[in-house]
Amino acid sequence: MIQPELLEYFQSDKSDWYVLEGSRKIWDKQKVKEFWQKIRENKQYGFYKYNFPVFEGVNSSPTEDNSPLTSDKDFWKKGQKKTFENYVSFNNSKFFGEVDFSGVKFNGGADFIGTEFFDTCIIKRAFFKSHTWFGFAKFYENTYFQAITFDGYTDFYENVFKKNLTLENSIYQGKVDFNKIEFNSPVNLKNLTFLDDCNVLFQDLIETSHLKFENVIFSENVIFRRLNLSNFSFKESDITKLNIRDCSWNNGNRIIINDEIQGDLTYHDLGGLYRQIKRNYEINKDWEFAGKAYRSEMLMRRYALYSNKKFGEWVFYWIYGRFSGFTQSILTPFFLLIVCILIFPLAYFSIEVIDLMQSWNCNFIESFNMVRFEPYLKNSLTNTIPIIKNSSTGNNWWSDLTQKIISSILLVFFVLALRKRFKQ
């Protein structure tokens, strides 16, 4: 057992071991050296409430094979490998300087519950076996988790990341929970691998969380629950099988992903992402969000046609969108049908009134009283709604044909929108 006076030394405040030059910490090298020497001399795996200075091996390049060290460094003596063979606990510890666990193997599990990192935290090419706990840990500076293998249950719970977090090129082989985490800066999640038997949960992150996934293939074992996805990015990722539960997007008639807002992707790539989201919701029979994703997919196609100067095709997509909301809106074609029913007879009525004023030299009131609006309205209803029969005036064949074509298109859009809205 460690001596009480030595334990007090390890747990004592280390904030007076350095001076600040701007934002840079200049550590007392002698005190740092003595601290790590005592750590190595008193080899143990429990560091409850320890206060650590800067690591000695910061920014050193970890070896791929975790070969024996050529000099003393941090927790290990010369000739040893950077390995914790047993369960190691840093419960409620504080790291006042830069932390570098790069190349370290945690073979017995690790506990970082309640730990505070006051400077840059670097963990590269590390290996975590068995349970790894980061619950309630706080990271006040940039954090780098890169090329790590998590083989076992990994728990991030109620963490706080004050600055950038980078999770790159890592492999998750067991259960992983990201629960109730506060991200105050964008999170870079690039080239992550979730194996088929790996269960991953992203749940109840703060509303403003901005997660930037890149080149990630999501399986159905990856669950997004109760998240605001409007700030998420999915560049070059496959989200078709992603398990989305009780998540929200932006408020509107279509889904807008952050990739579109940032303008980093082409319209073609954005259309592909929206198509994946649509398929995801279709698989789960969530027709409302599938429709919203379909709107965005079609809109990206329209933008792509315009940018590629394919104006002929663009016109059809423009009509498809404006007249029907890409068959996702019931109100748009219905409203346009009402307008169509009224605008044509009003036009005919006005033309006849003006004709009478010119032919018979009548004033407007007299001409208005001489013309009946009802026949034109009945004829318009006949042209718009096929089941209503009425003898045509016979004087406006071309305009009647035009109205019939427009009304038929709007009726088709209206029926398709109804079908999609109430699809089971």
**pLDDT value at residue 424:** 45
Residue 352 has pLDDT above 60, yes or no: yes
What's the pLDDT at 67? 81
Six token digits for residue 401? 């044909």
356-387 pLDDT, tens digit per residue, is: 777 777 777 777 777 777 777 777 777 777 65
Q: What pLDDT score was predicted for residue 356?
A: 73
Cα angle 413, 308, 252 (rounded to 5 degrees) comes to: 45
Q: Could you tell me how many residues make up the chain?
A: 424
The residue ranking higher by pLDDT, 398 or 237, is 237
Confidence of residue 423 (pLDDT cuts 50, 70, 90): low
The yes-or-no verdict on residue 402 having pLDDT over 90 is no
Q: CB within 8 A of 193, min separation 6: which ones?
A: 170, 171, 172, 217
Amino acid 183: pLDDT: 93
pTM of the model: 0.80
Q: Does residue 254 register a pLDDT over 90?
A: yes
How far CA 112 is from CA of 131, 139, 300, in Å, comes to 11, 11, 45
pLDDT at 95: 97
Give the pLDDT score at 360.
73
Quick one: what percent of the chain has pLDDT higher than 70? 93
* Statement: residue 242 has pLDDT above 70: yes
Q: What is the mean pLDDT of the chain?
A: 87
Is residue 156 a contact partner of residue 181, using CB atoms and an 8 Å limit?
yes
> Does residue 59 register a pLDDT over 70?
no
